[in-house]
Amino acid sequence: MKQKIINLFNSLEEKYFFPMGRRTWQGLSFLGLAAIICGLLFFFLNATPTIRDGVEVEKEEVIDEEVIEEEYIEETSSNCDKEDYEEELNKLKLVLSNCEFTDLGDSLERTKIQAFELPKIDDGAGDSGIEVDVVETASYFSQSEFDSIKTLYSTKELIRNYWGGINEKIKYNEFRPNMKAIPNQLNNLYNQKGIDSAEFCKKINIVKAVNSYVKQFDFNYFDQYKIYRECYQGFLYYDFSNRTINWAKAVMPIVVVDFDGIIAVKEQHKQFKRIHKMAIKNYISEEVVELAESTIGEHQELEEPESDLNYRDYLSVISTIDSYSSSMGDDIESAVDDFNDDVDYFDQNNFLRSLDRYLELYRQRVSDAERDKIDRSAEKAEKRVFSGMLMAAGFALILLIGIILLLFSIQNILKKNIDK
């Protein structure tokens, strides 16, 4: 049996392997080497980063389918005392030198009437030393009993009421604060916000915010009445802070045409209040404001704009860009720049709606481009796997040829030795 197997291998060698010339084996080796080189090139070709296709929205599509610079804010230390608070209050006093800080109110004499209760008398004598025989728990007193009690307590102002009971008229002093005084307004604000009298750090933050707010106004315009109405009543339940005030201060000259930086008329005051409330409701980042400023500036530079936009419309521009900024990421800047290139065209076709539609189309194109990028990345990954398999096959072929040739060489050497 063993000899039959040996004879079989010998016949295969003689019939198939030995007749194959050197060129044949070299060709097979080069074929394996070519497989390795091609696989390697194919691998590196598909190992390059997948770049997302450019995104572009034609201006006609929008119409056809149409249905801050922030100031540095000093943080208040957690260790605050009354002296620190007084220092900040003095700074506010310098700004509001035409407002009341000293006349905090007057003490008024008040009168109240309450039921008089007979005290327990050990010796039966009152203030005058006169003894009166009355029942201490009685709720009705005759006129003679009342006169006796009134004589007994001559230092008190007693009154007999309609039902025969006895009332006492009491006079007391009550402090009535002057609510036009700034310290009283501040104290009222602290109470409404639940700030304790010893929480000086929180009180200092409020004073700083008020100081920052009133600095936006002309000195003569912002008088005592407006301080009380706007600073305290108007913003009592809002997040009244330096952060929102500085945001409003930065946005005001962007959205209000020809604003010189100081509020001096009622219309500007109204505009600033609206901008400030917008900051309180939804604080928008400085980067978004800068993008919106570029769009607003492009529109304001138009010689004869078709869309007559006011500050509310420009605030809508900021809000619209902000609404897309989170979903579009860095692409929002490219989208706004592309929109600005054709701002005159969009001005003639409902500027605000065109902006919203343009950003929506751009967002969709970005989303489609991202999906296409993911698909191409997956396709490249599959090709890299194939190239790896191709290189492995080429390497295996070369290795197999080397082993076969090595075995043949050994076999030939053995045969030569046997023949000798």
Q: Which two tokens stand for residue 223?
A: 């008088």
Q: Do residues 394 and 34 lie in contact, with contact meaning Cβ atoms separated by under 8 Å?
A: yes
Burial of 403 per CB tally in 10 Å (0-12, 13-18, 19+):
exposed
Q: What is the pLDDT of residue 22?
A: 57
Residue 201 placed within a domain: yes
Task: Please count the structural domains in the chain.
Answer: 2
**CA 239, CA 206: separation in Å to the nearest integer?**
10
Question: Measuring CA to CA, which residue among 154, 155, 158, 181 is closest to residue 168?
Answer: 158
Q: What is the mean pLDDT of residues 268-281?
A: 85
More confident residue, 109 or 310: 310
What is the model's pTM?
0.59
| Domain identity same for 162 and 197 | no
Q: Name the domain boundary from 115, 150, 177.
A: 177
Contacts 24+ apart (CB under 8 A), 300-304: 300/257, 302/343, 302/344, 302/347
- Tens of pLDDT, residue by residue over 119-158, are 665 544 444 444 444 444 457 777 887 778 778 887 788 8
pLDDT > 60? residue 16: no
Q: Name the domain boundary from 336, 351, 367.
A: 367
| Domain identity same for 157 and 194 | no
Instruction: Share the mean pLDDT of the chain.
Output: 76
The structure tokens 């920052």 sit at 212
Tell me the residue type at 298: E
The DSSP letter of residue 47 is: S
User: Which residues form the domain of 210?
Assistant: 182-367
Residue 267 placed within a domain: yes
pLDDT tier at 294, thresholds 50, 70, 90: very high
| Domain identity same for 134 and 200 | no
Q: What is the pLDDT of residue 42?
A: 66
| Domain identity same for 120 and 156 | yes
C-alpha dist (Å) from residue 389 to 30, 37, 41, 385, 386: 17, 12, 13, 6, 5
| Domain identity same for 157 and 140 | yes
Q: Is 105 helix (H, G, I), strand (E, B) or coil?
A: strand
Residue 204 placed within a domain: yes
- 159 backbone dihedrals φ, ψ, rounded to 5°: -135, 135
pLDDT > 60? residue 118: yes
- Tens of pLDDT, residue by residue over 60-81, are 566 554 434 444 444 455 678 8
| Domain identity same for 260 and 314 | yes
Q: What is the pLDDT of residue 106?
A: 85
| Domain identity same for 140 and 232 | no
**CA 204, CA 208: separation in Å to the nearest integer?**
6
- Tens of pLDDT, residue by residue over 320-331, are 999 998 888 888
